[in-house]
Amino acid sequence: MLDSVAPPSHRQLQQWVAERLRAGILTGRLRPGEWLRQARLAQEFGVSQMPVREALKRLAAEGLVEHVPYRGVRVVEFSPEDVEDLYVCRAFIESLAARFAAVCITDKEVGELADLQCRMAACRTPEDLVEYRELNRQFHSAIFAASRRSYLVRTLAQLWAAFPTMLWSNVPRVATDSLPSRDQPDIEEHTAIVAALRARDGDAAERAVRHHIETAGRELLAAVRGER
């Protein structure tokens, strides 16, 4: 059930509804495969169906929901193939961004990455899982932002808009806990990434990021297929 706080008068209803629905999807309150009925949502939000309809179109363009002919709109549910495709894309684009980042990253940015890595290493699972995943998002975002390549940054920001929260909510096994086999490797792989960037070694940074993402992707894909 979504909260039904009255929409602020100074914002367009369509944007406000889209933000509420997007938050519901990314936090897992709206589950993968759940149908989003316009009449019900309009009643919950206290608006007409028009802004709900337009908001759903916006979310469909973002890839968060899908329109099923003659049935309606539902939250996207990731298949094993979707998971595989996402990690293949991330491995290629993020490793390329890391290579560029190694050339122009500043000492301050390296220090910030090292701090994030230390904070992640100190997290416990599942107690600190939410904090860990937010720090991990900041860590990866900081790397591709340091590439100074605007197209890569925009593309990766879009990939991360629904990842990893929405993806993890599709997999009950990792929705509230980590994969134990990834806890220590994650720490070691993040450390190797920071070391490569500190050394301004583009080849090593690219290899480290690619290895990290590909390995994590294989583990998650195995978990997804195991639950199917």
User: Quick check: is 3 in a domain?
Assistant: no
Of 55, 75, 95, the residue that ends a domain is 75
User: Backbone phi, then psi, for 8, in 5-degree steps?
Assistant: -65, 140
Which residue stretches of the chain have pLDDT < 50? Answer: 9-10
Of 75, 101, 116, the residue that ends a domain is 75
Same domain, 93 and 19: no
Q: Name the residue range of residue 200's domain.
A: 80-227
The separation between the first and the last C-alpha atoms of the chain, rounded to the nearest angstrom, is 27
pLDDT for 10: 39
- Which CATH number do you get for residue 68? 1.10.10.10
Same domain, 120 and 219: yes
Q: Record the pTM.
A: 0.78
Of 28, 44, 75, the residue that ends a domain is 75
pLDDT for 110: 98
pLDDT for 143: 98
User: Quick check: is 119 in a domain?
Assistant: yes
pLDDT for 2: 65
Among left, alpha and beta (phi > 0; psi -120 to 50; other), residue 200 is left
Same domain, 188 and 213: yes
- Evaluated on CA atoms 216, 185, 110, 210, the torsion sign reads negative
16, 22 in Cβ contact below 8 A?
Answer: no
Q: How far apart are CA 227 and CA 172, in angstroms?
A: 8
Same domain, 47 and 139: no
Same domain, 94 and 67: no
User: Quick check: is 213 in a domain?
Assistant: yes
Q: Is 182 exposed, middle or buried (0-12, 13-18, 19+ CB in 10 A)?
A: middle
Number of domains in the chain: 2
User: Quick check: is 5 in a domain?
Assistant: no
Q: Which of 212, 133, 204 is nearest to 174 (CA)?
A: 133
pLDDT for 151: 96
pLDDT for 198: 98
CA distances in angstroms from 4 to 20, 47, 166, listed in the order given? 9, 10, 22
Count Cβ atoms below 10 Å from residue 5 Cβ, excluding itself: 10
